[in-house]
Amino acid sequence: MRNTVALLLALALALSLAACGGAGETENNDTVPGPQESTEPPQSDGPAQSDEPSGEATEPPTPDDDTLVEAPGSGPADASNITSVEGVPLITLNNGVQMPQFGLGTQIQSLENGDLGVLNETSREAVAAALRSGYRHLDDAHGYLQERGVGQGIRDSGVPREKIWITDKLWPSEYGDAYNAIDGMLERLGVEYLDLVYLHHPAGDIDTIVAAWKDMERAYREGKIRALGISNFDNRMDAFNAIMEQEIKPQIMQIECHPFAQRQETRELAEEHYIV
């Protein structure tokens, strides 16, 4: 019985997108999250298989005229060519962009001594192996201290950048100058655009959080970002409401979600606003 329960929990955790944070320090004294619990990817030749036919997109509720979000601006992101691989469904976001539903989390910074200037070899090898096996969605963050390793792993894999979904996250210490922080992400990863950028945590005062979101909107309209998101905002509704008052609404809300934290109310709230 215990083995059955453990297997079910492992499968559920592997399919959830979790955003957690602890405490640590970067070389410039920015507070960054510590390691989060993770599960190994399925032991197969590719990502978890879906019963849906390859290439078929799963559709959220259709937004009406008041909730449809403007598409990303033209720019570097126009090169994107995301398709379904290994049967992984594509989710259509409220701005028309499609995202692979299954991806690889890469928070393993404790293995690299927290030095932002050092190539994270562990991330490099994991990302290259995952992409060669069929993964096409990578989730990383400035706070994970592995952007350079993830970027090198992408290049090592031989998979064209435009076929890969790259998620990154702004740490709260960057909210005061989020626009230039996004350029820093691009430089560390060695790419020209990002598929998704989150505000990692709703930390700090509301004005600073909103200012960071407006910087993200600017980068979105310039074609540097294809989708915008908020992470862990289910823990602070005043910050969530402030973001929902801005010109561009979030496409994605990343939350901790597993059998012991099913977040039914938060998931219903996201659906109400056409947020994945």
Catalytic residues, by residue number, are: 144
> In whole angstroms, what is the distance from residue 132 CA to residue 163 CA?
12
Proportion of the chain in helix, strand, coil states, percent, rounded to 5? 40, 15, 50
Q: Are 244 and 95 in contact, with CB atoms under 8 Å apart?
A: no
Rg (CA), the chain: 18
> In whole angstroms, what is the distance from residue 267 CA to residue 203 CA?
21
Handedness of CA 87, 42, 233, 142 (dihedral sign): negative
Q: Are 23 and 31 in contact, with CB atoms under 8 Å apart?
A: yes
> In whole angstroms, what is the distance from residue 147 CA to residue 143 CA?
9
Residue keyed to tokens 């960054």: 32
Number of Cβ atoms within 10 Å of the Cβ of 38: 15
> What type of residue sits at position 89?
P
List, in order, residues 6 or more apart from 142 with CB less than 8 Å away.
32, 168, 169, 170, 171, 174, 181, 184, 185, 188, 200
